[in-house]
Structure 1
């Protein structure tokens, strides 16, 4: 059998409880993590509280007993959190929303995609600069955590994977690439504000994030769930849209709950202060094994890659009419396909022509032990979207 063939799918089935799928296991897809009890007087501000990373963080903080405020245009999904409504691209809006808020721990997990990297730098660098310029003089901030990603090593979308990159697995002390990158701009604004106002910082470089959010620009779990629904409705196979390099190689992924836990760990662990970290699940997967497992779970016929990637943006062109039929047929709760599927981002991840793996040794040496089973987590995430009728 060719390495690009796939196994035949099992009998189609409804979403299942994966706890019964592995004899003797506990049904969990992650290692138990301790409750990160808040320090005395702690008040967490989660910037981007409705996003794929922010919503997971809000929930974890509240469950651990933190006083938590979400900064976003819309209120956080978890009604236990306070809400500060602001436009992150407006200094005056931030000043009005954050006046006298006095948070002790700030978690930044928001960005605004622009047409060019120069604009990404201008807009997203200013977000961090203005936010900390408003909060810093309040004198309450003890720690700021910033979520970025592996484009720190791969380069921005305009120069993605081009030129000479660090060897894998990526190490946090790798030199910056000689290209414009808004992650670098955000880090520099963070470092400058920390030096000026005297708080500690941490940077969390995640890989592809699997989590739960609607309307998020980078959401592979719901994107693949929507793609599966369209293919099933049309009677078409579940074609892997990416490159042969991604199909055959190994890759890691970041679960949103793990990323949230890692941020809180770094914010409350003195040894982790003023450090940049990679954050991935702790295992590696091959799509040539994961894709058939996902197809079987969803009752679809898997098909491996062609000679060239078959991007979802092209495959799903005009799929809005099919989605409207699926909404009516299954009673789906989100009629706007663009709020469920981010074809472009999943295409970028699955279409890469090179290996992408991040090293977690720095976290391990400082005592962080969290890990997630990527395969189990992906299937559970898709099941959660199906249970909430966000995908069919």
Structure 2
């Protein structure tokens, strides 16, 4: 029988992994590590309150007598500065591994699973070569000919993976590692509103109460028609458990982990409108939906020109597009409705208060919603499609329908009092 350690248990990916470990009869003991207790009630679970930003010695004190064959590392600390992001998250992982060495728990480790993401490919920097493959070159060299000495910004996923590889090597590779790369994770963890579904569901619910019940797509026209892949937190958790128990050849590999379908907002957005009882605007992009144009019907728009170059420039020569203007333009986000300004509008807040009071909704969800994440998720003009071929070749067969996973996440948010019931919303506020 197996045991596991899960760090970042209060986050969306960590919470889902804990949930699936509890259901797996092959695991008899789970240690959840986080600064606050995630509140999961299962006799398998022993929670350890720990600050992963602390020293290795401090962690070792908290982790005394704790040992497991499998570790699922989902801890993450956000920071706007790329260098600080590397330092903070690299230090957390390095100190945690050192703590396991100090307690001796590292000797019982069989496989260490680290959750990263599609920033591995630079999707946060601009357009990348599609589809995204795990053996694509890392963005570590000169920045696409943009001047002598210009470099790609540091990537904290690269930092973490080097730390993990080096730690395994120090121990003679007696244990191995797996890195997962999910994208735009759909899921829920109580008290954690850093996810796309919460902000999206709130936007749709409030839009139902605004004049005309229209649901304009906040982002750009190109992004509306681009293709993307999403990752259900439950799908990711199932993959992690499969990867932990998979054959030896699976170890020491990086894997894309997506639902397995390819989706786009052009398909999802009309479904969202129907679910929340809203109208699809005609036209959706009256001002063209391109950078530096006015906002939708009087709303504030937002244009963000990003520093650096499209990651595609790193592959331009071998792709034969070195002199293609699309590789030379500045990466730009555009939103015909700025989500952050939208959420501060008096009419929007009045509509939210009506919903909150009528359905007893959670005010902290509104205050903690990550509108800035929608800026990136909806404002980008480029596709983000990750191939699942590598995982399939190793035997992974999991699949999830992205719309069904998004709708299931909404149902959970309804049960938790974050969103109103869509059925009640439509019945109470008929168009």
Contact 2:204 2:272 in 1 (8 A): no
Q: CA deviation at 1:327?
A: 2.1
State the partner residue of 2:215. Answer: 238
Match of 1:131 among 87, 93, 96: 96
Following the alignment from structure 1 to structure 2, what is the Cα–Cα distance between the partners of residues 55 and 283?
24
1:165-176 equivalences in 2 (<5 Å): 165=128, 167-176=129-138
Match of 1:313 among 340, 350, 363: 340
Backbone CA RMSD of aligned residues: 1.8
User: 2:15 aligned with 1:49, yes or no?
Assistant: no
Following the alignment from structure 1 to structure 2, what is the Cα–Cα distance between the partners of residues 311 and 186?
33
Give unmatched runs, 5+ long, in structure 2.
141-151, 292-334, 421-431
* Partner-residue secondary structure (3-state), 2:60: helix
Q: CA deviation at 1:336?
A: 4.5
* Partner-residue secondary structure (3-state), 1:238: coil
Following the alignment from structure 2 to structure 1, what is the Cα–Cα distance between the partners of residues 163 and 209?
48
State the partner residue of 1:85. Answer: 49
User: 2:330 aligned with 1:353, yes or no?
Assistant: no
State the partner residue of 1:389. Answer: 417
* Partner-residue secondary structure (3-state), 1:222: helix
1:78-157 equivalences in 2 (<5 Å): 78-80=40-42, 81-91=45-55, 92-136=57-101, 137-138=104-105, 139-154=107-122, 157=124
Deviations 1:304-353 (A, max 9, x none): 353342231222125556544432221113444233x2111122122112
State the partner residue of 1:216. Answer: 192
Contact 1:218 1:346 in 2 (8 A): no
Distance 1:95 1:257, change over 3 A: same
State the partner residue of 2:304. Answer: none
Following the alignment from structure 1 to structure 2, what is the Cα–Cα distance between the partners of residues 72 and 382?
26
Following the alignment from structure 1 to structure 2, what is the Cα–Cα distance between the partners of residues 174 and 332?
44
* Partner-residue secondary structure (3-state), 2:198: helix
Question: TM-score, normalised on structure 1?
Answer: 0.83
* Partner-residue secondary structure (3-state), 2:48: strand
Distance 1:271 1:338, change over 3 A: farther
Following the alignment from structure 2 to structure 1, what is the Cα–Cα distance between the partners of residues 389 and 234?
19
Question: TM-score, normalised on structure 2?
Answer: 0.76
Following the alignment from structure 1 to structure 2, what is the Cα–Cα distance between the partners of residues 336 and 350?
20
Deviations 1:119-146 (A, max 9, x none): 1000001111011111134222111101
User: 2:35 aligned with 1:73, yes or no?
Assistant: yes
User: 2:246 aligned with 1:274, yes or no?
Assistant: no
* Partner-residue secondary structure (3-state), 1:302: coil
Aligned length: 345
User: 2:197 aligned with 1:229, yes or no?
Assistant: no
Contact 1:73 1:87 in 2 (8 A): yes
State the partner residue of 2:180. Answer: 204
Q: CA deviation at 1:100?
A: 2.0
Deviations 1:99-121 (A, max 9, x none): 22112111011211113011100
Give unmatched runs, 5+ long, in structure 1.
1-39
State the partner residue of 1:182. Answer: 156
Q: Which one has the largest radius of gyration?
A: 2
Following the alignment from structure 1 to structure 2, what is the Cα–Cα distance between the partners of residues 93 and 85?
12
Contact 2:4 2:69 in 1 (8 A): yes
Contact 2:193 2:365 in 1 (8 A): no
Contact 1:245 1:355 in 2 (8 A): no
User: 2:293 aligned with 1:333, yes or no?
Assistant: no
Following the alignment from structure 1 to structure 2, what is the Cα–Cα distance between the partners of residues 321 and 72?
36
State the partner residue of 2:298. Answer: none
Distance 1:320 1:129, change over 3 A: farther
Following the alignment from structure 1 to structure 2, what is the Cα–Cα distance between the partners of residues 93 and 377?
39
Structure number with higher relative contact order (C-alpha < 8 Å, ≥ 6 residues apart):
1
Following the alignment from structure 1 to structure 2, what is the Cα–Cα distance between the partners of residues 322 and 278?
40
Q: CA deviation at 1:383?
A: 2.0
Following the alignment from structure 2 to structure 1, what is the Cα–Cα distance between the partners of residues 93 and 258?
24
State the partner residue of 2:232. Answer: 255
Deviations 1:16-54 (A, max 9, x none): xxxxxxxxxxxxxxxxxxxxxxxx3x2111111111101
Contact 1:333 1:389 in 2 (8 A): yes
User: 2:301 aligned with 1:301, yes or no?
Assistant: no
